[in-house]
Structures are given as C-alpha cells and as structure tokens.
Amino acid sequence: MLNIVLHEPEIPANTGNIGRTCVAAGARLHLIEPLGFRLDEKSLKRAGMDYWKDLDVTTYIDYRDFLEKNPGAKIYMATTKAPRVYTDVRYEPDCYIMFGKESAGIPEEILVEHQDTCVRIPMMGQIRSLNLGNSVAIVLYEALRQNGFAELNREGHLHRLSWEK
C-alpha cells in the first residue's frame, strides 16, 4: 500500500481532497502536525465527501515522531527544488511520498537529508507550484501505474441509456 505524507498542511479543503484521492487509490494518508486546521472542520469533511470515514489516516506530533513510528521507510520528497522528475524514479509498492505545506513546501533541512529521493513535477517558466491536491494526484497515480494499479478497478462499463433505443 502506498503512503502519502503531508508535512504541516494548511488548507483543510486540500487535505480533504487528498484524503478522498487516497481512498480512491487505496493509499494511506499521514499528517504531520502542526495542521492549519482541525480534523473535525466542516470544510475538510466537505472536500473529502463521505469518503473520509473510509480513510486510513494517521497523525504525528512532528516530523521526528513520523520517522520514529515509520522506521526504515523509503520516503520520496516532492519538491520544486528537486533535480529530477517524478517519472524518473521507481516507486516501491509500500513507499512514502511526502508533500510540504502549501505556503512553503518541505523544509530545506529535511530535503537535504533526502536529496537522492527528491522529485519534482515539471512546470512552465517561473510557476512556483501546482495546487497540493493536484500534485499528490499526479505523483500518486504515477506510483500506482508503475505498480500495475494493483487492486484498483481498471475498467468501467457503459450502460445504454433507455432513450437511445
């Protein structure tokens, strides 16, 4: 099972949206405090819709607490400061993909410790970053693709509408 880690997320709607994406993708969500909201906030639940109850989510007091409770975790750091693109690495089925808070990203001191696993999403010119929810979806679904979309529904079925007869 893949793991999405949000380091000090600030916007409840983004985290709710990411939670919904994690449920759809069969991924766990890890939230490193401090959070810019309370987990019972209405906007968080609204963005996560009725999926929030199905979410496998764990919170941590701080980054050190996260590391202590996930020893030996392979962690990829999504950052605009990375020298390589997110499609250039091979994501293990149980890896962790970390994203930083909306206003500042992952702290530099953490990135320096994980330089070899930093990845970026290519963007035009001087664009600072994408929306956090979009960034998570892009990288998470690449990791899922690389792992054969294990256990995910890979096909849908169209039903002929009654008025088309």
Binding residues for S-adenosyl-L-methionine: 100, 121, 129
What residues contact 140, with CB distance under 8 A and at least 6 apart? 2, 4, 21, 22, 25, 27, 97
Cα(80)–Cα(121) distance, rounded to whole angstroms?
7
Binding-site sequence positions: 100, 121, 129
Integer CA distances (angstroms), 118 to 73, 115, 158, in order: 14, 5, 40
β-strand partners of 118: 77
CB atoms within 10 A of CB 162: 6
